Chain A
Amino acid sequence: GNSVTQMEGPVTLSEEAFLTINCTYTATGYPSLFWYVQYPGEGLQLLLKATKADDKGSNKGFEATYRKETTSFHLEKGSVQVSDSAVYFCALRGRGAQKLVFGQGTRLTINP
């Protein structure tokens, strides 16, 4: 079945550092890929998405590229801010399906 594996957290960085959160997936066919963010005490919000191979999703300075050859969708940001502290979830949706499969989440803390 479909599955998503994220790098283990927690991740702690200093402000303005470069961020990478790894995400790899297992799926048949060509899934759509997503990154969601959960700020403390809130629900999940869609951060970015990519629906086909080589697509790059981007939002709020975050980027992720759909790499089918490595079955990956790593999240990156060039210069993180304290306000980026949150839990980040990688997720996929199988082609023709509506259900999302989530990774376990990565807690990110940015220190000033």
Chain B
Amino acid sequence: NAGVTQTPKFQVLKTGQSMTLQCAQDMNHEYMSWYRQDPGMGLRLIHYSVGAGITDQGEVPNGYNVSRSTTEDFPLRLLSAAPSQTSVYFCASISPGQGAYEQYFGPGTRLTVT
């Protein structure tokens, strides 16, 4: 049981390049989300999904796209990278166990945009 996996672990992009951050979970959770972590700002929600085919915007969605074709996968796309997107990105899935909706986080992707 791998939990939540993310690839790549590190990535350097030039301004204007595009890329996809991969996220997969093997716990059959319906709810998944993407956060970015910046110094002194905690985690901010980018996009989330409540099930296959359903996505919605979080607090900071600009510059990012998502899709959810399967329960397992929830990729995050940067269409035209900007230095402001330099951050650490975390994917999470939620277990609805006992109503507490516990979140499980992946190990993160550290992205640098030059």
Q: Hey, which bits of chain A sit against chain B, CB under 8 A?
A: 4, 32, 36, 42-46, 49, 51, 89, 93, 98-100, 102-105
Complex CA distance for A89 and B58, rounded to whole angstroms: 19
Other 18 A-B pairs with CB < 8 A, given A51-B99, A89-B43, A100-B45: A4-B42, A32-B101, A36-B105, A43-B4, A43-B90, A43-B105, A43-B106, A43-B108, A44-B103, A46-B102, A98-B31, A99-B33, A99-B58, A102-B43, A102-B44, A103-B42, A104-B40, A105-B42
Q: Hey, which bits of chain B sit against chain A, CB under 8 A?
A: 4, 31, 33, 40-45, 48, 50, 58, 90, 92, 94, 99-108
Complex CA distance for A105 and B41, rounded to whole angstroms: 8
A-B contact count (CB 8 A): 49
Complex CA distance for A46 and B40, rounded to whole angstroms: 20
With A99-B45, A105-B42 known to touch, is A45 a contact of B101 (CB < 8 Å)?
no
B100 touches A32 (CB 8 A): yes
Q: Which of A42, A49, A89, A98 has the most CB of B within 10 A?
A: A98
Nearest first, the 5 A-B pairs at minimum CB distance are A43-B105, A102-B42, A104-B42, A44-B105, A102-B43
Complex CA distance for A99 and B100, rounded to whole angstroms: 11
Q: Which of B4, B44, B103, B105 has the most CB of A within 10 A?
A: B103
With A98-B31, A99-B33, A99-B48 known to touch, is A44 a contact of B90 (CB < 8 Å)?
yes
B48 touches A45 (CB 8 A): no
Q: Report the nearest B residue to A9, measured CB to CB.
A: B40
- Least CB distance from A32 to B in Å reads 6
Q: Which of B31, B99, B100 has the most CB of A within 10 A?
A: B100
CB neighbours (8 Å) of B94 from chain A are 98
Complex CA distance for A93 and B103, rounded to whole angstroms: 11
